[in-house]
Amino acid sequence: MSNGYVVQKDGGVLIVLRVSPGAKSTELRGAYGAEALKLKVAAPPVGGKANAEAERFLAGLVGAAPSEARVVRGASARDKTVFVGGVSAARAREAISSRLP
């Protein structure tokens, strides 16, 4: 599996996602193509709730504070890019790989 879904960026990482809101639970479901991860979130796609859940989940997954994660691209789309500050690409890849099905 490609690791193109995690890119090192000034002081953190960018994580490319395909988000499916309204799931029973929040979980990674594997690769979505070669350059993105499929993430199901247990939040509806209204009022920024799905974005907030994706940010919270990714921050916790890679060991960052929730305030360090934010959607930087695709706030109103299913394809999103989330920036998580304070972590390396190697750490993010390791944490993500340990949770993939």
For the segment 33-88, what is each residue's pLDDT rounded down to a tens digit? 989 999 999 999 999 999 999 999 999 999 999 999 999 999 999 999 999 999 99
Residue 78 in domain: yes
- The confidence band for 1, taking pLDDT boundaries of 50, 70 and 90, is very low
Q: pTM for this one?
A: 0.93
Q: How many independent structural domains does the chain possess?
A: 1
- The confidence band for 101, taking pLDDT boundaries of 50, 70 and 90, is confident
Domain range for residue 22?
6-99
CATH number at 50 reads 3.30.1200.10
Q: Report yes or no: 36 and 18 within 8 Å, Cβ to Cβ.
A: yes
Residue 49 in domain: yes
Element (H, E) at 84: strand 79-85
Find the range with the poorest average confidence among 10-14, 66-70, 77-81, 97-101: 97-101
Residue 1 in domain: no
Q: What distance in Å separates the CA atoms of residue 97 and residue 45, rounded to the nearest whole number?
A: 26
